Chain A
Amino acid sequence: MPDELKVVGHSVPRVDGPAKVTGRAPYALDLTVPGMVHGIAVRSERAHARIVSIDVEAAEAAPEVLAVVTAASVAPLDVRFGHVARDHPALACDRVMYHGEPVALVVARTPRAAARAARLVRVHYDELDAVIDAETALQDDAPLLHPDRVAPLGDAGLDAGAADLTGNLCAESTVGWGDVDTAMAAADLVVEGEYRYPMLYGYAMEPYNAIASFEEGTLVVHSTAQHPYMVREDLARMFGLPLARVRVVVPYVGGGYGTKSYTKVEPLAALGAWVTGHPVRVALSVEEAMLTTRSDGAHIRARSGFAADGTLLAREFDVVMDSGAYTDNSPVVCAKLANRCFGPYRVPAVRVRVRSVFTNTVPASSLRGFGAPQGALAGELQMDEAAQRLSIDPVDLRLRNVVAPGEEILPRKRGIDADLAEDLRMLTGSLGWGGPSAPGTGIGFGLTASDAGAHPTSVAMVRLHADGSASAAVGATELGQGSRTVLSQIVAECLGLPFDRVAILAADTGATPYERTTGASRTTTLVGRSLQAACADVRRRVREVAAEVAGVDASAVVDLPAGVSVGGERWDYAEVLSRWFGAGGELVGVGEVRRAGEFQAMPPFWEVGASGVVVDVDAETGVVSVLQLTTVGDVGIAINPVLVHGQDLGAATMGLGAALSEALVYDGEALANPNVVDYRVPRSSDVPDRLELLLVERRDGIGPFGAKGSGEGALNPIGSAVAAAVGRAIGVFPHELPLTPERVWRLAQERVGDVRT
């Protein structure tokens, strides 16, 4: 670590640690508002049906009930939301589109009274043909789920794919260059296959919840939102309010991982408050949360053409995403999947088509990785399959094709700001690749690069107080990633202050400056940069007022740690403020990042994924045990190394869940496993004893001090890595996750009967 950095680069303790270990850290679920009442949703028991009528009289007459809210009861208010296309009604209007969709909201004085009354609401349905499977939904004779299409909002910061959509297409994205057909025809080897990545539930442990009230004409919402400014826009549209009159406040959040991106229950709470005049809490159970958002499952058909020496000649991907009942974020995931599936390789000819498809299932939105894990399952596994068939080492095969530092992965996008070849060598070295392996074990690894950061709009404010301490106001949410700690470190470093003289105020759209999202691993990099700019701005103010007080030219004032030199004399910040204001006061600096200058090229940075595993497969039971996990955190600089380790292990563990046990399963028209017993996430015994969390610090990022983001990268290749490792252990590469014991056992049995080898 270069010794000019005092705070950055050190694993300072988390600022939220003491509050969290004592149980005193407030989450939205822990807040109460005077006069607060409770809303519970009545949910559809049909996958696709016209609503004939809703009988609410019995529920409204029940004890302690204040109101039963339906889309019809609040007309002409338009209850639809959506940041890409406004097609998702907070309460079903004339039709229900999936089993579990909210149809009515019962508001009562206690949660129990609301729950009792909710059972008294009778919904009469006229059933319609439902389509649960995405492939079926693409057929010509499939029921049309959105006959009256809602035009996209046209947000310039969202890559939402094609506009001319027909049938049940929610979105379509294509990427391509070169002559794929000719290249494939000339290839010495074409690897072809179908791959399936499951639909997942992120299971952030704090289920979606919100409290909404109207105060002095302002809609005030406390919620679990990851992106409060996006939620603010949805609510402003719904209630016809200016942005200034919608305030979304996000306290600590019990897990995000993308599951809390975009609007969830905030409109329900707001509608309850709008009707009753009381503050209304809507707090979902885990089962209800599972009926609210999931990730897009993907069926991937892929072909990769190689020369005999392992050079990639062409890649083709045709992907169908099951995106559920409404648009939500699937178009963006669709575009990202298209960008990410062919990998960080030099490919002369590429043809990718990703289709996001409406079905009568829980609407899909975002989840950690955002298309990358789905794409990598096919893209990386085909590298392994090709290596095997060409008798080339899979590391060498990748090294032959991987992009060099600065090289473009996508035409006209930012060149890669990483040394992937070196990352891959570190990864496979740690895994013991090339050494002896025990029978029944296998090593697998993968390499990904994600166009991360999202649209780079970030605004930050720094206030220098009369005692020389500083507080920063940022719109980023603290989801557990440690953003308040890292951002405090950046401010302390920039102003030359000790860490404990800095505080962060975060995520209150009524008080903190605009932050586009807390996602795409962008906070350290982009908020960090806007905060750096704000610190530079307040330092400029300090020099300006010091010069004026001293009666010297501004050029005679020079920055020092925690103060300035005025003609050779040291004034600390408190002294500058005291001489300027006489009593009290503060100096304010603002900074911003926007898509211009060095941030013009997209993406703002590439997020590297280089992860691998060593697994053991029990031939008799099909049980896969992970013996070792290695991640390579190629983060430019680790502003707080322990927190980066936390992101990498956490992300990789989530990837292990998808690889080995997690999948949402539809049984007919309803979700078969909407609970944490039947949907199994990793437990303490699932994490391997051998963990190698490597850090690479080449200062090659656009963020503060050369930082790049982390948080998704370590997850993205895990599914493909586990599949490759299992494949090497049992002799056949699996193409479908999760690798449950039954699936692995069956594959191994097929292999026994396979005579082609």
Chain B
Amino acid sequence: MSDTTTTAVTGRINGREQTLQIDNADLLLDVLRDLGLRGAKPSCEMEVCGACTVQLDGLPVSACTTLAAEIDGRDVETIEHLDADGTLHPVQEAFLRHSALQCGFCTPGMVMTAKALLEQDPDPSREDVVHWLEGSICRCTGYATIIDAVLDAAEVMRRAR
């Protein structure tokens, strides 16, 4: 017996169209993780820590507070898609260069947030980066290396264009 109903939704997840039979109460984070996409992490469950950040039609969203039903007809991109062609995204490369991680639990969300920022604004100021990362908590690093990495990635991406 269930007090919710199920719906079929069709969305593109990491570039591949999929039809999923989902419970209307399902959260996007749980559905993604059940699909084996476990880079996005559950933590605060209140949309403040950013560990579950994925891109929905290019915008960063907290998968912990997004209903899975909302992906119908839309594009979802998760951290797993970034190196699908075998090469790391410039943001990932920059995180490695700057050692911008410790425990790594926040890292997928940080990377997805930074990627979304750089897609919107290829030349952000340090203040812009700090502002965008305000919704992503890191408890290990003290943020400085992460901010440096995002600015460095921006420069690398600008030069590559």
Contacts and interface: CB of A to CB of B under 8 A. Distances in A.
Indicate, yes or no, whether A interacts with B.
yes
A684 B39 contact: no
Contact of A21 (B88, B103, B139): B88
A646 B141 contact: yes
A307 B117 CA distance: 59
A205 B39 contact: no
Nearest to B1: A63
Given A21-B96, A684-B130, A29 B142 contact: no
Given A22-B83, A649-B144, A687-B142, A480 B104 contact: yes
A675 B46 contact: yes
A21 B95 contact: yes
Nearest to B93: A21
Interface in A466-495: 479-482
Interface in A299-357: none
B137 A205 contact: yes
A27 B142 CA distance: 22
Contacts of B136: 684
B105 A27 contact: yes
A286 interface: yes
B107 interface: yes
A252 B139 contact: no
A148 to B, nearest CB: 38
Most chain B CB within 10 A, of A11, A257, A685, is at A685
A205 B143 contact: no
A257 B139 contact: yes
Please classify how large the interface on chain A is, using the bins under 10, 10 to 19, 20 to 34, 35 or more: 35 or more
A498 to B, nearest CB: 19
Please classify how large the interface on chain B is, using the bins under 10, 10 to 19, 20 to 34, 35 or more: 35 or more
A480 B140 contact: yes
Nearest to B131: A685
B124 to A, nearest CB: 13
A255 B139 contact: yes
B137 A23 contact: no
Interface string A247-277: 0000011111100000000000000000000
B140 A29 contact: no
A21 to B, nearest CB: 4
B105 A653 contact: no
Given A22-B88, A204-B139, A650-B140, A676 B48 contact: yes
Interface string A377-398: 0000000000000000000000
B103 A479 contact: yes
A685 B51 contact: no
A23 B142 contact: no
B92 A21 contact: yes
Contacts of B95: 17, 21
A24 interface: yes
A19 B96 CA distance: 10
17 contacts: A21-B95, A21-B101, A21-B104, A21-B107, A22-B79, A23-B78, A23-B107, A26-B38, A203-B137, A205-B139, A254-B104, A480-B101, A642-B99, A649-B142, A653-B143, A676-B49, A681-B137
Interface of B: 1-2, 25, 33, 38-46, 48-49, 51, 78-80, 82-83, 88, 92, 95-96, 99, 101-108, 111, 126, 129-131, 133-134, 136-147
Interface of A: 11, 13-14, 16-27, 29-30, 63, 112, 202-207, 252-257, 285-286, 479-482, 642-643, 646, 649-650, 652-654, 675-677, 681-685, 687, 689, 691
Given A202-B139, A684-B143, 14 more contacts: A13-B99, A21-B101, A22-B88, A23-B38, A23-B80, A24-B39, A252-B104, A650-B102, A650-B141, A676-B49, A677-B48, A684-B130, A685-B131, A687-B144
